[in-house]
Structure 1
């Protein structure tokens, strides 16, 4: 079994910045865009609200 690798402060900071500056906004855009696409597709098939 290999010993557990401990991360340095620099690696931890880099990982945190990547997750908070890159991944969080990308995930937010993907989730909102996916929801908007689902609503658009539903309205394309079912018609606009109130019709």
Structure 2
């Protein structure tokens, strides 16, 4: 049975790398991904309205 990360071949990640990864994900990737999702949904609604007409109430 493997008892530590060295035997398993897993490298220990320093705290500074974890902080950089969090900052990249939280500051850059999450807002960009949110913008792409919202923009893609808005674009799809716009295209559907061009094809099928505006919503009727």
* TM-score relative to the length of structure 1: 0.89
Which stretches of structure 1, 4 residues or longer, exceed 6 Å deviation after superposition?
Answer: none
Counterpart pick for 1:28 among 26, 34, 45: 34
Could you tell me which runs of 5 or more consecutive residues in structure 1 were left unpaired when the two chains were aligned.
none
Query: RMSD of the alignment, in Å?
Result: 1.5
Could you tell me which runs of 5 or more consecutive residues in structure 2 were left unpaired when the two chains were aligned.
1-7
* TM-score relative to the length of structure 2: 0.81
